[in-house]
Amino acid sequence: MNISLDSPLGGDPKLVYVVLNKRRVLLRTGNNIAMLSIGEFSRITGLSVKALRLYHQKRLLVPTCMDENSGYRYYDERAIEKAHVIVRLRDMAFSLGEIGEILRSCDDEADVLEYLARQKQAIQARIRQHRNILVSLEQIIKKEQEARIAMERSTFDVERKTLEPMLIAGVRMKGKYSDCGKGFAKIGKALGRHLCGKPLCLYYDGEYRENDADLEACIPLRKQVEVEGVSVRELPGGRCVALVHQGPYEELGRSYAKILGHIKEKGYKTLLPSREVYIKGPGMLFKGNPKNYLTEIQILIE
Domain boundaries, the chain: 2-105, 137-301
How far apart CA 67 and CA 69 sit, in angstroms, is 5
Burial 247-271 (b: 16+ CB within 10 A, else e): bebeebeebbebbbebbeeeebeee
Instruction: State yes or no: pLDDT of 36 exceeds 50.
Output: yes
What's the predicted TM-score (pTM) here?
A: 0.56
Distances (CA, A) of 241 to 79, 266, 274, 276, 279: 78, 11, 10, 12, 16
Instruction: State yes or no: pLDDT of 59 exceeds 50.
Output: yes
Find the distance separating the first CA and the last CA of the chain, reported in whole Å: 98
DSSP-derived letter for residue 286 is: -
Identify the CATH homologous superfamily for domain 137-301: Regulatory factor, effector binding domain (3.20.80.10)
> Which of 28-32, 135-139, 156-160, 178-182 shows the lowest mean pLDDT across its residues?
28-32
**H or E element that contains 183:** helix 180-191
Q: What residues are paired with 291 via a beta bridge?
A: none
Q: Which fold does the domain 2-105 belong to in CATH?
A: Multidrug-efflux Transporter Regulator; Chain: A; Domain 2 (1.10.1660)
10 Å Cβ neighbour count for 35?
23
Instruction: State yes or no: pLDDT of 224 exceeds 60.
Output: yes
